[in-house]
Amino acid sequence: MEDNCQEQRHGIEDHPDDNPSRICAGSRHDRLQGLRTRRDHDERLGRAGGRFRDDRAREANFKAIGKANKAAKSALEAASPDFATVAASATSIQTDAGKIVGLFPDGSGKESGEKTEALPTIWQKPAEFKAAADKLATAAGNLKVAADAKDAKAATLAMGEIGGACKGCHDTFREKKQ
Ligand code: HEC
């Protein structure tokens, strides 16, 4: 029964739009009833001291941010800057920056039992954490404006702002690598 539940949960995670009513049908999780969405499920498990199940969505979002950041950088540093790529990457970073806060629900720190570099300061200083995410969104917005104007100088400045926003947040809210 438990294995069957695990399997189904993996299925749901691979296909997040799947009908959530299939989650762990017939398992003990049925007893945590009222689960309408996967997020709802995660949060309830989080509050119940269970495992946080959205860690991969969080990781994927940061990986996408990192990838778009690199793409913007190399497009801008090309002999003849590719402003269309810079603009598209900027929009992607801005969108993903807007998702950061929602990917850190209560109970998704180390206490979840998942491998995570998220520091407790995220939940101790939620306003500061949100401000750090907003800073990235604003910097990405500035990059988009500069790219649309084909202004390499302003775009380079905005890239610096973006780098500062990553570092600023990581310094305060992400565990340092040993
Ligand atoms: C608002 C805070 C915040 C901002 C802004 C931010 N990060 Fe992060 N980042 C984090 C936290 C917290 C983690 C650790 C998440 C975890 O381990 O659960 C992280 C993890 C990562 C990871 C590792 C993902 C993984 O698990 O494989 C990468 C890569 C990353 N960030 C890149 C960036 C880049 C590049 C930027 C800027 C363009 C950026 N981040 C901006 C907070 C932030």
Point out the least confidently predicted range of 34-38, 105-109, 172-176.
34-38
Which pLDDT score is estimated for 52? 56
Of 142, 124, 129, nearest to 169 by C-alpha is 129
53 confidence band (pLDDT: 50, 70, 90):
low
Task: Answer whether 104's CB lies under 8 Å from 122's CB.
Answer: yes
What local confidence, expressed as pLDDT, does residue 54 receive? 67
- Taking the centre of ligand 1 as the mean of its atom positions, its distance from the CA of residue 24, in whole angstroms, is 31
Query: Is the pLDDT higher at 93 or at 12?
Result: 93
Which residue from 42, 59, 62 has its CB within 8 A of the most atoms of ligand 1, so it is best to mutate? 62
pLDDT the model gives residue 177: 78
Task: Please report the pLDDT score of residue 83 as a whole number.
Answer: 98
CATH of region 55-173, choose from 3.20.20.70, 3.90.1530.10, 3.40.50.2300, 1.20.120.10: 1.20.120.10
Which of 46-55, 90-99, 139-148 has the lowest average pLDDT?
Answer: 46-55
How do the domains of the chain map onto residue ranges?
A: 2-36, 55-173
Q: Spell out which residues line ligand 1, taking CB within 6 angstroms.
A: 58-59, 62-63, 65-66, 69, 100, 116-118, 129, 132-133, 136, 162, 165-166, 169-170, 173-174
Q: What is the pLDDT confidence band of residue 4, given thresholds at 50, 70 and 90?
A: very low
Q: Other C-beta atoms within 10 Å of 37: how many?
A: 11
Q: What is the pLDDT of residue 47?
A: 40
Calpha distance 40→108 (Å, rounded): 13
Ligand 1 geometric centre to CA of 144 (Å): 21
Are 122 and 112 contacting, i.e. CB atoms less than 8 angstroms apart?
no
Q: What is the pTM of this model?
A: 0.77
Other CB atoms within a 10 A radius of the CB of residue 33 amount to: 7
Q: What is the pLDDT of residues 102-161, one digit of tens each?
A: 999 999 999 988 889 999 999 999 999 999 999 999 999 999 999 999 999 999 999 999
Average pLDDT over residues 54-68: 93
Ligand 1: atom nearest CA of 100 is 1
How much is the mean pLDDT over the chain?
80
Q: Report the Cα–Cα distance between both ends of the chain, in Å, rounded.
A: 40
